[in-house]
Amino acid sequence: MALAARVVARSETLVIYWREPVPPHNEAIAMPCVPDSDSNRALAAQLLQRGDVVAYPTDTLYGLGASIFNEAAVRKVFAVKQRDATQGLPILVASVAQLGLVAVDIPPEALRLAEQFWPGSLTLVLRRNPAVPLIVSGGDTVAVRVPAHPTPRALVNGGRAPITGTSANLHGGPQPTTAQEVERQLGNSIPLILDGGPCVQKVPSTILDVTTMPARVVRLGAIGVDQLRMVCDVAGSARGGT
């Protein structure tokens, strides 16, 4: 079914439209893909506060963001990605100081790793704060990162909540390293993409489980095991993947 539009938010550079079903003979309206500017980040933060989902650049891949404390918004992320809602989503925070919003029983090893690698390409698996809805984590742990890119940090602070940090693609689809790739895969399913150009790193983060010691690498990515072992004890070998 085609879509109609009405204005719901404005910035200096963009008017955002809310899509509504209309008869099939009407033409669909393309999803806005706009420059990653301060004004458009502010607009994206407004949309996050409304319970919408937006795509944004990071230091690794383009991400798909929703406020983690809004369960309906998180369910939209699963729907957009066509991903099983039993699989947990990574969380992005803007600083180490916000870690307590999403995690409890944080071991000293995690804080040392955060001091060494954050902001950056390390995701830490920690015990979930009960305030985080189970739909986000899929279990008793959360995967958390402070990205080395100003946009997601601005969205967290502007939206007044940590956001989901899953990749902005269809489940199992190509890694989204440009806004155009996000647009190609997700079509008209989200109201806004912030275009920050191609991702510089183009490699996913390393995921490290620090709920037990020695720590365990869940996914090997941008940060190698030897680098991790300079900070804490890391067990065994890791499996790759994206």
The ranges assigned to domains in the chain are 31-235
**145 contacts: CB under 8 Å, gap ≥ 6:** 90, 91, 92, 93, 118, 121, 122, 123, 124, 165, 205
pLDDT digits (tens, 9 = 90+) for 183-205: 999 988 999 999 999 998 878 89
- For domain 31-235, the CATH class is alpha beta
Q: Are the C-beta atoms of 17 and 29 separated by less than 8 Å?
A: yes
User: Phi and psi at residue 118, in whole multiples of 5°?
Assistant: -105, 140
Report the chain's mean pLDDT, rounded to a whole number: 87
**Angle formed by the axes of helices 38-50 and 150-159, to 10°?**
50
CA 26 to chain CA centroid, Å, is 33
pLDDT band at 31, cuts 50/70/90? low
Average pLDDT for 145-165: 98
pLDDT(240) > 90: no
* pLDDT, position 201: 83
For the chain, percent of residues with pLDDT exceeding 70: 85
Average pLDDT for 22-29: 36
* pLDDT, position 139: 95
pLDDT digits (tens, 9 = 90+) for 206-225: 999 999 999 999 999 999 99
The pTM score is 0.85
Distance, in Å, from the CA atom of 55 to the CA atom of 194, rounded to the nearest integer, reads 6
